[in-house]
Amino acid sequence: MKKFFTIIGGMGTLATESYIHLLNQRTEAKKDQDYLDYIIVNHATVPDRTAHILDNSKPSFLPPLKEDIEQQSKLDPEFMVIICNTAHYYYKELQAATKVPLIHMPHMAVSVMKKKYPHARVGLIATKGTIADHIYEDEIKAAGFDYSLGDQTVQDKVESLIYDDIKEKGVMNAAKYHNILKTMHDKFHCDVIVLGCTELSYAQEKAPDHVYDVIDAQSIIVDKSIEYSRKIRNGEKIDFNKIY
């Protein structure tokens, strides 16, 4: 297979499934051959990203992801995407392991937000790991946004939605998700809310019936995956250093 891309997923599997579902759903296709060419790596046994970030003595997710990147590089994909925001903690190390462009999902999301909501007050909801390592916060600051991370009550609800409901039980608690968005909007005066975890993107896919503006990094990377794949199939060259 030529002119394909690689998806590094499994973190978690339901979030990766959501990405694939949206990818195929949004691809304009009238026959089998109209769909995109890609390889999916559903590496479900990658150690917990947040646990390692909060305590570096816990098993690191860098070695298995680096191995995935190196294995896939031998197949010569056009680009790769990692379907996990928190995994971008080691983005520089992972990109250094390959010459294949590795799309930076958080940076892409904030770049899109800057164009769409240039004067917004931004709310960020994510895992404790993503909050602790400032993956999104640094991007939001660099873009010049005023922002809020909510409070401990919000963080506890976010963690419960991600880990208790989606990861552990495989269920979507729409009421909890909508309440989090409402709190960020009403209490912390956020005009737009960044979904800084792919499980939150899964929540958005399953429960989009709310009135709040969100920046869904996974949804954005779906659209960009389709855009780049189409251009590559049509013989266009993409300067991945200038895509943000």
Q: What amino acid positions are annotated as catalytic residues?
A: 84, 197
Could you tell me how many residues make up the chain? 244
Contact 5, 80 (CB under 8 A): yes
Query: Residue 145: which residues within 8 A CB-CB, separation 6 or more?
Result: 113, 114, 120, 121, 122
> Distance between CA 22 and CA 221 in Å, rounded?
10
Identity at 180, one-letter amino acid code: I
